[in-house]
Structure 1
């Protein structure tokens, strides 16, 4: 009987070693690992949420700025930064929507009480 197993030599690669991928990026030992920090996107989302109930326009503006910074620097936090931008715009310009709705609701009552000669006056109804 002959021995069919042999120990690998320097020229012969080990059977258990994985072959090297020719398409893999070259490994560099000097580069630091990429950090998965979502600081700007989290700040954008928190400030966007806080700007709505508090009415602080500066929080909404900061949410918009941090959101756009996060979209360019943190691709993994894209969803949070998008929501931060949207909520920042709502918090900053939401007062404008509320004012327009308030005027639209109050205008008929103001015109009704002015008495232009058409329709009943306010006190004529009661």
Structure 2
């Protein structure tokens, strides 16, 4: 008799990428330097997922997009913080 193993669909990297991207967006105004690093990790995991988990390509794409948005928002938050500090120091 031959044994057949059920096919499992792994989507772990893609789901973690989505979670990291969403968290970096939600918390971009608190410690943006930390969350930009989290978003970069989300991008890396998203691209790894696209190559290692072919059944999760759409989820990986969502994670990559969310992480790039998180990077942009965190950088914008850092710039806004620098502008506000510069204006405060001029007083």
Q: Which residue of 2 aligns with 1:85?
A: 64
Q: Which residue of 1 aligns with 2:24?
A: 51
Q: Deviations over 1:41-71 (max 9, x none)?
A: 0101111111101121122011101100000
**Equivalent-residue separation in structure 2 for 1:31 and 1:72 (angstroms):** 25
**Equivalent-residue separation in structure 2 for 1:30 and 1:68 (angstroms):** 33
Judge conservation of contact 2:36–2:74 (CA < 8 Å) in 1.
no
Structure with bigger helix share is 2
Give the secondary structure class of the aligned counterpart of 1:93: helix
Q: Which residue of 2 aligns with 1:41?
A: 14
Identify unmatched segments of 5+ residues in structure 1: 1-28, 104-126
Q: Which residue of 2 aligns with 1:74?
A: 53
**Equivalent-residue separation in structure 1 for 2:11 and 2:44 (angstroms):** 15
The two structures, once aligned, show a CA RMSD in angstroms of: 2.6
How many equivalent residue pairs? 76
TM-score, normalised by the number of residues in structure 2: 0.67
Tell me which structure has the larger Cα radius of gyration.
1
**How many Å apart are 1:97 and its aligned residue?**
4.3
1:68–1:43 distance in 2 versus 1, CA, 3 Å: same
